[in-house]
Structure 1
Amino acid sequence: MNLSFNVLNQAMLTQVLHELRLGNLQRCKALGLGEEDIYLLQSLPPTTLSRLAHATVPWVEIKIDSSVLHRLIDQAERDEQNERLINRALKLGASSTIMYQCFGLAHSETALRRRLLKIETRKGRPQNLSEAQEHALWQRWCQLRAQDGAEDQLDAMMMLAEEQQISLAIVWQQIDHYSNGT
């Protein structure tokens, strides 16, 4: 007896019976059963259902939908990349406002993520930069923007925070200050 057929048959029968018990006939159809099959399975005695579950020949067919598989993999990779970006931003000192504007994360979610990443939060106002630091920051920002064009501003700001060894919140604040001419 081929064990893989047995396991597949059991899994499918268990799922179908569960869906039938819940009254999810459309789900049973989505699993590949026709209306006659559904009616037949509902009327079978337990001994016959047991024989179906333990059949030595496959009555279940597994098929890979390659395009769906690739879309799911692509989405999973985008999700992982987004998680890395969120963690990087938090480690660089992104404020809750930045996390909300860039990622849609509520303050409570941002705070929880900080705790999970063991990031200490500073209380009070952020440090002020010297005039020389502000100038260097703005000059480097202009360089990055000229190189990247309209590419991801957040990534450029994170690069600045890393290069200048200052928090992302300060970089964000300074760029906003100079960009709006205030």
Structure 2
Amino acid sequence: MSKSTLNEAVLSQLLDLMRNGQLQRCVEMGVEPEVLGQIQHPTVLSLLRNTPVSWVNVSINSSMILKLLTGAARTEEETRLIERAIRLGATTSLLGKFFGLTPQEIALQRTVIGVRAPRGRWPELSEDQDHHIWHRWTKLMDEHRVELEDSLAMLDVAMLVAEELSTDGLTLAQIWSRITQWVEQGLYPGSSERSRVTERRQLTLLDEGGLRHVDESGTASIHPGEGDQRR
């Protein structure tokens, strides 16, 4: 945009604001009150409109643009996450806890995507279902290196489990409830304890020509080396 075009665009905006009585907005744009008193005079208008000198400075706040773009992407991702959770059978309380949605907003979301709200009590999990949830949850927690303190990452893992076990009629609400019970009971070790278990599993000691493996219980087992093989 040329200097004259930019001057013309800002001048038109100022005049429009003044006609609508938005004088404070003109001041906020950087125009002094005494200038506003003269700006509608034909001679002043002609001077401001036709001068080759730019009297408008435009700057781009790149950091703000990046923040806005990041915020928009985050909003889209959050929207997809909410829809995914609803389709997998998340309860109103679960959606409110993680995404701050009101019951009315959740009801509208369900209506839009055609999902009915869960009603009544959940059926008791069978022993097989309980086993499957535990097996898949712990495996995915380890694979994705999710910490118990990262509740949103844990919810994502729970949704993966729900998607895998949806054919068994299990919902995200049931799976999340069971997972939180296990965590509260301390049945799933924290990251520091898992690290110690991994170290114990990998610890090997050379002993008399063989390898001594130390398992989780601390019991050493001797695996004969080449020199101990029966000839």
What range is the shorter-chain TM-score in? 0.7 to 0.9
User: How far apart are the structure 1 equivalents of 2:119 and 2:43?
Assistant: 69
- Other-structure match for 2:111: 115
* TM-score of the pair, normalised by structure 1: 0.77
User: How far apart are the structure 1 equivalents of 2:47 and 2:116?
Assistant: 59
* TM-score of the pair, normalised by structure 2: 0.63
Residue correspondences, number? 175
Root-mean-square deviation (CA, aligned residues, Å) is: 3.1
SS at match of 1:149: coil
Alignment of 1:3-42 (within 5 A): 6=5, 8-9=6-7, 11-17=9-15, 18=17, 21-24=21-24, 27-28=25-26, 30-33=28-31, 35=32, 38-42=33-37
- Other-structure match for 1:149: 146
Which runs of 5 or more residues in structure 2 are unaligned?
187-231
| Alignment partner of 1:70 is 2:74 | no
Q: Which of the numbers 160, 173, 176 marks the counterpart of 2:177? A: 173
- Other-structure match for 2:205: none
- Other-structure match for 1:100: 96
Which runs of 5 or more residues in structure 1 are unaligned?
none
- Other-structure match for 1:139: 135
Q: CA deviation at 1:180?
A: 2.7
> Higher strand proportion, which one?
2
Greater C-alpha radius of gyration: 2
> Higher helix proportion, which one?
1
Decide whether the 8 Å contact of 2:91 with 2:118 is kept in 1: no
User: How far apart are the structure 2 equivalents of 1:121 and 1:9?
Assistant: 57
Bigger shift: 74-83 or 99-108? 74-83
Bigger relative contact order (CA 8 A; separation at least 6): 1
Cα gap change, 1:113/1:11 in structure 2, threshold over 3 Å: closer, same or farther? farther
